[in-house]
Structure 1
Amino acid sequence: MLMSNSDRPARLHYLANGFRVLVPGDHVVCAVSGARIALEDLRYWDVAGQRAFASATLATEALSPQ
């Protein structure tokens, strides 16, 4: 039986210029807002922290020193 990746979170390994899919899925969750991010829309992530962000603004806020 084939399993669909629809509506399943993916597990990714974030790299400097991309990411590698460790567990197939159709989205990841934003580390700040909790929003679902479709893999084809994923543009912002933290390599050191291995976390995804829904927007440049959220990434900047999360990665800025306090």
Structure 2
Amino acid sequence: MSNNSEQSDNLNQKSSETSQKLEPPKKPEPSQELEPPKKLEPIEFEETRVLINSESNSNIV
């Protein structure tokens, strides 16, 4: 009987290990962490656009 209980313990450990290994990719957290930079990008682009526009304007004048 003791042998059986040990085996079941091992199985439980293995299953918990695999579930832990599978968790990270499935987590939606990474995508949430990636969102803020995406929101900031347009602002950065706008700033560079203004810079480019001001430069081109000065060139035209």
- The TM tier, using the shorter chain, reads under 0.3
Q: TM-score, normalised by structure 2?
A: 0.26
Bigger helix fraction: 2
Instruction: State TM-score, norm by structure 1.
Output: 0.25
Question: Which structure has the larger Rg?
Answer: 2
